[in-house]
């Protein structure tokens, strides 16, 4: 790696803050003054990224944009890097020194081994505003990863000018897909080959709204990808998902061989079982009990799994190795399965059905059976067979076999599956003390977080988590326990014993009691006259609550909240409170219909949520009998 002088694309004064248009400064922490990225394919086995950019930091909230971070491994090298610091007037203060660049391992505590490293540099400047200007060059051994360009993807971030140029030889083809980009890219040729260029100018900061869709649907975005490519010593094609799947199958070829003792174990466990689904469950649980997840990223190992024999011997692996191992166990048992590529987590929108490329960051296993399909999360030691959870549910994934790749969608959990049922029994003392037993049942996605807490944390940490979930004044969780039904649609049952001082507030001879003790909504939205973006609501779910509270002796009900019943395109809500004998009986039902709604529906959502918010806080008035 060399530190080279920056090309002269700015002289003293060019980066004066006074030259930034006022509309870009408003509500911004940083302004990207100029950004030129050039991705050049030298040949199918070699590509280069050259980037120059200058960013003005207006205040301390923008400091994170002022450092330079470049990762590398055996397939990607840093050829050069340089930087200059300017003051508010655009006057040069100092330049990057090679001795100040840190070269660090990118291995975290969850990774056993990798060859990822990164170079990191910062001027550590604290006099605002200031501008940093960086230039670097990266070289890749292959042409697998073309750029995804999204110059504006953070709040309080403005752009004066930004561009992406792709250069390829005349005999190489690639594809692109744009979102929110006006017009067409500028095409041309230069000494290196044919070029395409995208450019944006004068983009003010974006302010996200409640339940905004992903950035792809808001800001200019360009996806690019090759047709034919090379990665290390492997060649492939990703012009179609079928072809891309063939490449993934090529990486996996011959890596499903098991040691003889593991083969014998497979048959000992599975041969006597009555059906394939039961065999899948038993072998999956065997894998869970005898392996653990550790990330291993070496060379092309970022894409290629370790041999099944490696996992059998070492008892660990990453998502690729463990999924391949489970595939091998099932194959030995005579059950066909599919190694499956998925974009896990919050980035499901990166998966574009009509644009084959590699957005994937995780591997799971798909097991098609005669009557249904079983999905397996092979990195988990605690998930039941057949359950995915919100990490990989409801998204398109790529199934792989020797014939190629096929797009399918993982299950979407329904309202009835994402069911929370809560029953509260207790009493209120004359002094306002609330004593309750809370029994809750959480299904599917509603149990995900608690499932992780109760299976992974100490009891003290579990208690901390529970207390974070409860919004009561002066309370104590006296005891708690839980149990689980680890079915394909799992259910977690939770029991809490709670005491809360002064829950019922007292004024003279009256007690004021909120019958909705735990299940209150906290979304109270502000109306927006001209909302810009669609409303994107999360999962479908149903919550059902029943609370029975014994009121203190000598008190009668003076006032009860009115029953309420709401119905809208976003869902339904019902609540009621009545007195039965000497007990308050409160019922609450809410269902949400997730999905995307037009921006024009937002204020209707505001009204719907506001009515629920008020109803959740309505109070019963008790008065002491004379």
Q: Distance (Å, rounded) from C-alpha 485 to C-alpha 227?
A: 47
Residue 451, pLDDT > 60, answer yes
What are the tens digits of pLDDT across the range 18-34?
999 999 999 999 999 99
pLDDT higher than threshold 90 for residue 299:
no
Closest residue by Cα to residue 28 from 189, 205, 290: 205
CB-based contacts of 261, cutoff 8 Å, min separation 6:
none
Tens digit of each residue's pLDDT (9 = 90 or more) over 507-517: 999 999 999 99
- Which residues contact residue 587 at a Cβ distance below 8 angstroms, ignoring those fewer than 6 apart? 545, 546, 574, 575, 576, 577
In this prediction the pTM is 0.92
CB proximity list for 334: less than 8 A, separation 6 or greater: none
Q: How deeply is 225 buried, as exposed, middle or buried, from its count of CB atoms within 10 A (0-12, 13-18, 19+)?
A: buried
CATH 2.60.120.1130 maps onto the chain at: 419-624
Q: Which 8-state DSSP code applies to residue 340?
A: E
**Do 242 and 406 contact (CB within 8 A), yes or no?**
yes
Q: Which helix (H) or strand (E) holds 197?
A: strand 193-203
The answer to whether the CB of 116 falls within 8 A of the CB of 71 is: yes
- The number of angstroms, rounded, from the C-alpha of 509 to the middle of its chain's C-alpha atoms is 52
Chain-wide mean pLDDT for the chain?
94
Write down the H helix ranges in 271-318: 276-290, 308-314
Determine which of 100-114, 279-293, 336-350, 593-607 has the lowest per-residue pLDDT on average: 100-114
Cα-based torsion angle of the residue sequence 456, 462, 467, 469 in order, rounded to the nearest 10 degrees: 30
Tokens for 306, please give them.
């370790």
CA distances from 553 to 41, 427, 431, 468, 478 (A): 83, 11, 11, 33, 24
pLDDT confidence of 302, banded at 50, 70, 90?
Answer: confident
302 compared with 55, residue with greater pLDDT: 55
Portion of the chain with pLDDT greater than 70, in percent: 96
Instruction: Identify the weakest region by mean pLDDT among 227-241, 258-272, 290-304, 510-524.
Output: 290-304
- Tell me which residue of 531, 542, 524 sits closest to 609, measured CA to CA: 524
CATH class of 17-229: mainly beta
Q: Write the CATH number of the domain with boundaries 238-409.
A: 3.10.620.30
Q: Which CATH number fits domain 419-624: 3.40.50.720, 2.60.120.1130, 1.10.357.10, 2.120.10.30?
A: 2.60.120.1130
CATH 3.10.620.30 segments of the chain: 238-409
Asked if the model's pLDDT at residue 619 lies above 90, the reply is: yes
Written as six digits, the tokens of 448 are 């995900």
User: Is the model more confident about 91 or about 105?
Assistant: 91
DSSP 509: T
Which residues, in sequence order, are CB contacts of 279 under 8 Å at separation 6+?
A: 269, 270, 273, 330, 333, 335
244 pLDDT more than 90: yes
Task: Give residue 190's Cα distance to chain centre.
Answer: 40
pLDDT tens column, 66-77 = 999 999 999 999
Strands 111-114 and 295-297: parallel
């Amino acid at each position: 790696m060399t530190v080279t002088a920056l090309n002269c694309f700015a002289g003293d004064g060019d980066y004066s803050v006074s030259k930034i248009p006022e509309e870009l400064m408003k509500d911004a922490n940083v302004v990207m003054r100029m950004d030129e990225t050039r991705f050049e394919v030298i040949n199918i086995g070699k590509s280069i990224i050259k980037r120059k950019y200058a960013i003005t930091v207006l205040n301390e909230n923008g400091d994170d944009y002022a450092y330079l971070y470049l990762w590398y491994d055996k397939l990607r090298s840093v050829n050069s890097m340089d930087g200059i610091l300017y003051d508010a007037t655009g006057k040069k203060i100092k330049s990057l020194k090679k001795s100040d660049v840190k070269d660090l391992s990118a291995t975290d505590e969850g990774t056993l081994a990798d060859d990822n490293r990164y170079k990191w540099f910062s001027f550590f400047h604290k006099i605002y505003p200031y501008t940093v200007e960086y230039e670097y060059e990266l070289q890749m051994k292959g042409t697998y990863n073309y750029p995804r360009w999204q110059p504006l993807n953070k709040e309080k971030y403005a752009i004066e000018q930004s561009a992406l140029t792709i250069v390829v030889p005349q005999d190489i083809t690639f594809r692109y897909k744009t979102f929110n980009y006006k017009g067409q890219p500028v095409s041309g040729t230069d000494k290196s080959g044919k070029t395409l260029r995208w450019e944006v100018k004068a983009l003010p900061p974006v302010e996200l709204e409640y339940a905004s869709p992903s950035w792809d649907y808001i800001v200019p975005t360009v996806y690019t990808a090759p047709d034919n490519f090379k990665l290390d010593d492997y060649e492939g094609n990703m012009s179609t998902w079928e072809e891309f799947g063939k490449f993934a199958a090529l990486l996996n070829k011959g890596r499903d061989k098991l040691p003889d003792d593991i083969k014998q174990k497979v048959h000992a466990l599975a041969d006597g079982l009555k059906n394939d689904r039961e065999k899948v469950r038993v072998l999956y649980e065997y894998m869970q009990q005898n392996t653990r997840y550790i990330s291993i990223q070496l060379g092309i190992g970022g894409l290629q799994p370790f041999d099944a024999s490696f996992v059998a011997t070492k008892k660990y692996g990453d998502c690729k190795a463990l999924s391949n191992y489970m595939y091998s166990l099932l194959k030995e048992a005579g059950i066909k399965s599919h190694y499956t590529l998925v974009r896990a987590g919050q980035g499901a929108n990166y998966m574009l059905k009509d644009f084959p490329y590699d957005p994937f960051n995780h591997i799971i296993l798909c097991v098609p059976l005669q009557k249904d399909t079983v999905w397996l999360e092979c990195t988990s030691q605690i998930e039941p067979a057949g359950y995915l959870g919100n990490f990989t549910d409801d998204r398109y994934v790529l199934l792989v076999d020797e014939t190629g790749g096929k797009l399918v969608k993982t299950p979407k959990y329904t309202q009835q599956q994402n069911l929370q049922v809560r029953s509260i029994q207790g009493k209120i003392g004359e002094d306002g003390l609330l004593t309750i037993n809370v029994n809750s049942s959480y299904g599917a996605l509603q149990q995900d977080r608690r499932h992780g807490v109760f299976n992974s944390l100490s009891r003290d940490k579990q208690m901390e988590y529970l207390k974070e979930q409860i919004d009561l004044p002066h309370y104590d969780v006296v005891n708690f326990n839980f149990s689980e039904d680890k079915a394909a649609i799992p259910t977690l049952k939770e029991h809490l014993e709670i005491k809360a001082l002064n829950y019922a507030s007292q004024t003279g001879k009256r007690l004021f009691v909120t019958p909705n003790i735990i299940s209150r909504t906290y979304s109270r939205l502000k109306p927006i006259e001209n909302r810009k973006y669609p409303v994107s609501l999360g999962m479908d779910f149903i919550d059902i609550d029943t609370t029975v509270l014994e009121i203190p002796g000598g008190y009668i009900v003076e006032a009860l909240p009115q029953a309420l019943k709401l119905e809208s395109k976003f869902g339904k809500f019902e609540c009621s409170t009545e007195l039965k004998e000497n007990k308050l009986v409160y019922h609450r039902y809410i269902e949400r219909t997730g999905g995307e709604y037009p921006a024009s529906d937002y204020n209707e959502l505001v009204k719907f949520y506001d009515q629920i918010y008020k109803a959740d806080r309505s109070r019963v008035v008790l008065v002491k009998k004379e």
